[in-house]
Structure 1
């Protein structure tokens, strides 16, 4: 079971398969690397080297009481790229995993990466001050308490998420992926850090091609977040998936894979 030790002494788990250009997959809040199974297989079959990554406090990585902030998750991604000596890597982040990718870029820039893909993650969770593409109902007035009881049901978006993708993963793996408990102190601290972040300036400054995939019927925020931030950078592009909620890689795995592969094929 491949592991490495982060710069601050935490054991982190990853899976490495295939050959070719490296694609690194950090998953969303509480999701293990196995949640990417339908993307991992498709990307490996297309000739890419695929690295699934369990962020700290996720999957089979350690969950220390410290380092539960988005900046440290970005540093962990850097430690992974250095450990494997990856160059021209593609970072594909889903949900909070996209925030980890933006944190990485903010800290370390484009030196080891060639492209970025985010999947249904608004760059600013808090609404207000001219930005209305954040988490439904989250404002600067309530940001300190909004997630005190976990991620709330917004009553918005796709009310009956498509489950075929998850069922296929269960069949392929012989069991359901082990999602982490969102209620631990460590993950609550991480969720709060995630809620308070604003990555719009990072995306605007990106010097590598970056694709923002949005679910038309996301339960968490308006899909227009992708077009709004993409307008700030000529290297940004947008794909909005129809009949798709927040978990695009599970709701619409084929469409998600097609969008990623088309984006990469155009940027060898």
Structure 2
């Protein structure tokens, strides 16, 4: 697996496969790059070069005690693109990986970006009077303690057992169990807390490149309406809701997700 060094001397691992227009895949909280294997295969077969990043503290990348913030994770994406020497890329992020994409764009703009795909990540996790599509039960009043004991069971969405067949398919494809990072280390707790405090709505509304907001109808974390409401104020945005699908859309409904992803990519070529 190739590596890059960030500008604060952290070694990040990434996968690099295929040839053609570049797609960068960024997984969510605790998830490694290998959880994109079913999308990586579909993209390579469709004629794309795929870079899948293990964010710091994730997968095979280094896990330092510093840099546990969305700002730093966005900068890491910039470091990856510069080190590999790619421009005009499609950025696809799942969950916190999508927030990492918006963090990158908020800091560095879209000069090197062709399009964006956000996979079941609400742009604002805290519910408020002007945003009802945050994490179920998360408010500004309880934000600083809400995740103290990990990610709570919200009682919403697809039951965990219904995701088991899809997860087994992923394991069979990898011939291994994905390396899931522990959420209980101080840096990971700090990263989750920082993630919960962000609001990417203005970044999304001001995006000047095509973007697709994907939602799982039965997401365990937030209402699917976050997708459609995130494109209301930007004609470049599109949204799609995957039925019978939980939060991990690319793993829960890989065929349906891949179809939506490839149709979107075809439309921007």
Structure 2, gaps ≥5 residues long:
none
In the alignment, which residue of structure 1 is the partner of 2:219?
218
SS in 1 for 2:191: helix
The answer to whether the 8 Å contact 1:165/1:249 transfers is: no
SS in 2 for 1:230: coil
In the alignment, which residue of structure 1 is the partner of 2:236?
235
State the TM-score, normalized to the length of structure 1: 0.99
In the alignment, which residue of structure 1 is the partner of 2:23?
23
Distance 2:162 2:6 in 1: 36
In the alignment, which residue of structure 1 is the partner of 2:259?
258
The answer to whether the 8 Å contact 2:213/2:230 transfers is: no
Structure 1, gaps ≥5 residues long:
none
Distance 2:80 2:98 in 1: 16
Deviation of the 1:162 alpha carbon: 2.5
Equivalent residues in 2 for 1:1-268, closer than 5 Å: 1-159=1-159, 160-268=161-269
Deviation of the 1:242 alpha carbon: 0.2
Deviation of the 1:122 alpha carbon: 0.2
Deviation of the 1:164 alpha carbon: 2.6
Distance 1:25 1:161 in 2: 25
The answer to whether the 8 Å contact 2:125/2:199 transfers is: yes
State the TM-score, normalized to the length of structure 2: 0.98
* Number of equivalenced pairs: 268
* CA offset digits 1:112-136 (Å, max 9, x no partner): 1100000000000000132110000
